[in-house]
Structure 1
Amino acid sequence: MPRKLLVSSFLFVALTWAPALAADTLPRGRHKQVDALFSQWSSKTQPGCAVGISRDGVLDYARGYGMADLEHDAPVTPRSVFSIASISKQFTAFSIGMLAQEGKLSMDDDIRKYVPELPAYGKTITLAHLMHHTNGLREQGQLLSLAGWRGDDVSTEADVLWALSRQRGVNFEPGTEVLYGNAAYTLLALVVRRVSGQPLRAFADERIFKPLGMTDTRFREDHTELFSRRAWGYTSRDGGGWRLSDSHADHYGAGNLYSTIGDLLKWQQNLLDARVGGQALVALVRTSGRLNDGTETGYGGGLRLAGYRGLDMVSHDGMDGGYRTESLLFPAQRVAIVTLCNSGNIDAGELARKVADVYLGAHMKDEVPPAVKVAETELSALAGDYWSPLTDEVVRLEFKDGALRQVGVPKAFVPMGDGAFRPGESTHVWRFSGPRELSIRDFWPTTRPFIRVTAPKPTATALATFAGQYRSEEVDMTYTVRVVDGKLALRWPRRDEVVLDAIGDDHFVGSLGTVTFTRAASGGINGLTISNRRLRRFRAERLERAEAVRAASTAGN
């Protein structure tokens, strides 16, 4: 056994045999405190949540709040079935680990060994890169959106593979950064099928779910499939009321697993006692990936490994349509918490951590640095637009209601001294260095640098020089840029037009993220790039007039 895996196995054994939290050390009145946390969702007129807490595999509390099905007046219960969204990833990773354990693949294998349809990017992308989000692949949903898919369109594994196979580049060289994305786990699900001969749905059911008695858990491969006791996902409707909000993806691996709090608590216990898979495999998924320089990523096999308030914690969240989910496991205390919600307005992760505070608060410490006083003149001086030369993202800051805020984000920044701020009560750090530089460090260990944009914004006359048509062969799409009411707007077939706000230095921002226009040596505009957190410098070339006419004719514009 490799030394790293051996060390991880010893650590796993130590945690497995750590004494469970004694029943008499749990706080009295904890169930009433949990009910109070969810009280605003305990209604017959709105969706809600199911919460489950176990101690050393023994259920301590489970309850539903709100409605699973508003149309048929069905309440949420502990047996309600939810889409668990990205919590699904750990089961995909575990399946890959099982195949590695059997010698059918290696984590160091090139993904193109199993998916030769993918292009060669010049650097090998391994299965480990995919598992740990160090692969650099562009986000699958955003590629399909740029190809003309709408949010309610059906997407398949073949559609995702079509988009990925056309890409000419990646966000970064594999192993140099860590960036969470879904494409990697869709590919891992494909690897399971091609190596085992079984779809991931059948493989996981036979090898994981049935042995653990997870009878209400299965991957969904058809968006029209129905589930008994299903909790439908909802988002609020403008003007009041609710509307259904569910994924139309007919592929899985990154998400699309349905389950209950009871089944997920059984799985959490398996991450302690390794009844299925064995200690070495559980140690594998509970071991952090590393960058090429040795930096730990804080992400194992579909599991986040960051602690919480001084305690070791294994977790993952999920967000898909109207579903918001969170699973937390505290290995040393052997306490597991699962929160599954069916409203896009609910922060399941915050609720789960508040439940953890109730159960384990006596063992925790406060890790959030105290706020310091900063003059309003200093705060207002930091407002402005900042661009990242690493990722091509733009963040916009404003001074509003006496605090520094990110435009469009309700939580204010809390000053911590020495130019550092945190958004709300998070442990993320935004640090200003002088009047022009900003660095952002969130959950991931890759710090993103930003530079304040001070260049003047283009005049109304100059805006017209950006107008035209731009072509991307990577998604087989032509984009039209035009001037509308003194602003640029970007449109393409089947999608709503995106209005762009000018920042300066040929940078614009809109709902897509950052749109940066590029120039030839002559100074003329020759293309544009689109960048956001999970998609970096996606390029479209400007078309000459004759090409643009042909492209418009083909697209039917």
Structure 2
Amino acid sequence: MSDVKLAAKLDPAAIDAIFAPVNQSQLPGVAVAVAIDGVPVYRKGFGLANMELPVTLSPMMRMRIGSTSKHFACLAYLLLCEDGRAGLDDAVGKYFPEFHEVARRVTIRQLMGHSSGLRDVVSLCMLIHGTGVPTTEREMLAYYETIDDIDFAPETNWSYNNGAYAMLSTAIERISGQSLDDFLAERVFRPIGMNDTMMRRWDTGFVPNSATLHMVDAAGGYTKQYMGMEISGMGGMVSSMDDMLRWLRHMDAPVVGSAETWRLMKTPRTLSNGRSTGYGLGLISALYRGVPTIAHSGGVMGGNSQMIKVPGAGLDISIATNRADLNSIDLANRIIDACVEGLAPVAEAEETPGEMRTGLFRSSRTGRVVELLAVEDKPFVSVDAAMPFPLKADGDGGFELAPPVDFIKWGVTPSGCGLTFSDFGNADALDEVARDAEAKIGDLAGLYRSAPFAATAEVSDTAEGARLRLSGRHGSHSYKLEPLTATIWKASSLGVFSVIGFTVTFDAEGAGLVINANRAVGLRFARD
């Protein structure tokens, strides 16, 4: 992919214009660093590092880089493979004999590539306990001792899995005899001169030279809301934008990691159906306006980041925000627009094939619920009542996800009274179902229990409407329930993640319910 030759130029005024809306000193903002051919050419911070102090952000300040941490964890494990102390296709059970058989038999390579099919225990914890509950990685991983089913057979699909990286992090520690923090510092950060980069497992401790994260509250203001859970290789690193430029430059001629290690990290994996995931071992390879890129973004509570290379132009970009209402991926793409010559034209909005279809659809095989929506006359899709994603015509009579979420390979093709939903090449037939917005919870109220997840689901009918309370080993969280049909309900968090939703589908006989949430699907509860 890096053989494509392009030209990159610096236009500081054009980049300044991108960040003009956040060039202020009363709200949090963003730090950015850009390099061409390994030489830093643009380094600025916009907005406050902390709304309580008159200190502005800078590219020298530590900021959360979230899931960008993942390819560092992959590199750490691959260094152990280079040492002869581990194997890429080692079974998880080699390092976690205490886990249930379904987890023990997947491989480390599958964990890294998000193709293991294991349930994401991080999403499970957030779903059951909410955020802000102090939960260690060991406590989260303990769920794999009792969970006895999977989302899909290994290598048959792709699903982003933070729990897999919590497992990878602990495996590195068990093999090396060091904390992941110390291993990365010794083997990666110090040799490269990344002196401001470190593992920060908890948001609640004090770390020098660090920006504060800012969530958006219901009134549109900013608030302190922390993850609560321990995070390491899945997304626990903090770094400065200057350090990240050092890292991006190092990726062009690595001194840490062999050529084979870096080939494995950069090469997208292929599923058993022949479909490329676009995801290697911790790195995403994709096209932006016809140009090959290598990247990994990161999202955290109160901020996000993007690390992206345009190898053919020698362009490196690192951006991190300390507020939840900015999108680092979009900002980085706009910098590419301003700096790279020879990009393909911005695609014109394609005509929607036929009359735009809207409606609610359900799969009798998987229980997946898909809603097609029109937002300002543009097509959107919501899967299992989650946040709607924009769609674009795919040229074959259907739709696919539009940027910046097009790395998720979903497709929707309406037909007759239903539609076909494609999930990384796996087709699922859905039938249209009639809405019943006036449905009542009625006899569906009651207590439901799941032994594998050590959780209960209490459904109640209150003066404010139907409610769901999930409770587990480490806490509980409440949700508002709204009817989609008499047996399919949308759950919305009553906490800070009010935009996140999932579906609760009740058996027609009332004997149980199934929760389908992002990265936590098919969670079965039996009536107590």
Structure-2-length-normalised TM-score: 0.89
1:396 maps to which of 353, 367, 371:
371
Tell me if structure 2 keeps the 8 A contact 1:482–1:490.
yes
CA 1:425–1:193: 2 relative to 1, 3 Å: closer
How far did 1:423 drift?
5.6
Q: Secondary structure at the match of 1:276?
A: coil
Tell me if structure 1 keeps the 8 A contact 2:360–2:434.
no
1:454 maps to which of 429, 433, 441:
433
Structure 1 residues without counterparts, runs of 5 or longer: 1-10, 544-557
Tell me if structure 1 keeps the 8 A contact 2:8–2:314.
no
In the alignment, the residues of structure 1 paired with residue 323 and residue 245 of structure 2 have an alpha-carbon distance, to the nearest angstrom, of 21
2:161 maps to which of 147, 160, 181:
181
Count of residue pairs the alignment pairs up: 511
1:481 maps to which of 455, 459, 463:
459
CA 1:219–1:226: 2 relative to 1, 3 Å: same
Amino acid at match of 1:353: N
Q: Equivalent residue for 1:552?
A: none
How far did 1:451 drift?
1.6
In the alignment, the residues of structure 2 paired with residue 123 and residue 455 of structure 1 have an alpha-carbon distance, to the nearest angstrom, of 42
How far did 1:270 drift?
2.0
How far did 1:57 drift?
1.6
In the alignment, the residues of structure 1 paired with residue 71 and residue 197 of structure 2 have an alpha-carbon distance, to the nearest angstrom, of 14
Matched, 1:234 2:214: yes
Q: Secondary structure at the match of 1:245?
A: coil
Q: Equivalent residue for 2:448?
A: 470
1:11-66 CA-to-partner distances (Å, cap 9, x unmatched) read: 8xxx5xx6986xxx5445x1111111011111111111111111222111111111
Amino acid at match of 1:364: L
Q: Equivalent residue for 1:66?
A: 47
How far did 1:135 drift?
0.7
Q: Equivalent residue for 2:60?
A: 79
Tell me if structure 2 keeps the 8 A contact 1:405–1:411.
yes
Q: Equivalent residue for 1:437?
A: 418
- Structure number with larger C-alpha Rg: 1
Tell me if structure 2 keeps the 8 A contact 1:453–1:504.
no
In the alignment, the residues of structure 2 paired with residue 51 and residue 108 of structure 1 have an alpha-carbon distance, to the nearest angstrom, of 37
Match runs of 1:2-81 below 5 Å: 15=2, 25-27=7-9, 30-81=11-62
Q: Equivalent residue for 1:260?
A: 240
Amino acid at match of 2:344: K
1:402-447 CA-to-partner distances (Å, cap 9, x unmatched) read: 4444478687655566533456655576433323333456xx7345
Tell me if structure 1 keeps the 8 A contact 2:302–2:323.
yes
CA 1:197–1:26: 2 relative to 1, 3 Å: same
Tell me if structure 2 keeps the 8 A contact 1:31–1:61.
yes
How far did 1:517 drift?
1.8
Amino acid at match of 1:449: D
Tell me if structure 2 keeps the 8 A contact 1:132–1:299.
yes
Q: Secondary structure at the match of 1:233?
A: coil
Amino acid at match of 1:234: H
How far did 1:117 drift?
2.0
In the alignment, the residues of structure 2 paired with residue 517 and residue 421 of structure 1 have an alpha-carbon distance, to the nearest angstrom, of 30
CA 1:421–1:284: 2 relative to 1, 3 Å: closer
In the alignment, the residues of structure 1 paired with residue 189 and residue 179 of structure 2 have an alpha-carbon distance, to the nearest angstrom, of 14
Matched, 1:190 2:165: no
How far did 1:246 drift?
3.2
1:229-252 CA-to-partner distances (Å, cap 9, x unmatched) read: 211110223335321233322231
In the alignment, the residues of structure 2 paired with residue 438 and residue 203 of structure 1 have an alpha-carbon distance, to the nearest angstrom, of 49
Q: Which has the higher helix share?
A: 1
CA 1:476–1:496: 2 relative to 1, 3 Å: closer
Tell me if structure 1 keeps the 8 A contact 2:275–2:425.
no
Q: Equivalent residue for 1:105?
A: 86
Q: Equivalent residue for 1:515?
A: 504
Q: Secondary structure at the match of 2:511?
A: strand
Amino acid at match of 1:508: W
Q: Equivalent residue for 1:124?
A: 105
How far did 1:343 drift?
0.7
Tell me if structure 1 keeps the 8 A contact 2:93–2:104.
no
How far did 1:177 drift?
0.7
Tell me if structure 2 keeps the 8 A contact 1:469–1:481.
yes
1:300-344 CA-to-partner distances (Å, cap 9, x unmatched) read: 111111121111111011111011100101222221111111110
Tell me if structure 2 keeps the 8 A contact 1:143–1:163.
no
Tell me if structure 2 keeps the 8 A contact 1:391–1:536.
no
Q: Secondary structure at the match of 2:286?
A: coil
CA 1:437–1:281: 2 relative to 1, 3 Å: same
Tell me if structure 2 keeps the 8 A contact 1:384–1:452.
no
Q: Equivalent residue for 2:151?
A: 171
Q: Which has the larger displacement, 365-374 or 41-50?
A: 365-374
Tell me if structure 2 keeps the 8 A contact 1:144–1:163.
no
Tell me if structure 1 keeps the 8 A contact 2:185–2:198.
yes
Q: Equivalent residue for 2:142?
A: 162
Q: Equivalent residue for 1:243?
A: 223
Matched, 1:534 2:519: yes
Q: Secondary structure at the match of 1:498?
A: strand
1:384 maps to which of 332, 335, 359:
359
Q: Which has the larger displacement, 276-285 or 253-262?
A: 276-285
CA 1:287–1:484: 2 relative to 1, 3 Å: same
Matched, 1:491 2:480: no
In the alignment, the residues of structure 2 paired with residue 310 and residue 262 of structure 1 have an alpha-carbon distance, to the nearest angstrom, of 28
User: Identity across aligned pairs (percent)?
Assistant: 27
In the alignment, the residues of structure 2 paired with residue 304 and residue 440 of structure 1 have an alpha-carbon distance, to the nearest angstrom, of 23
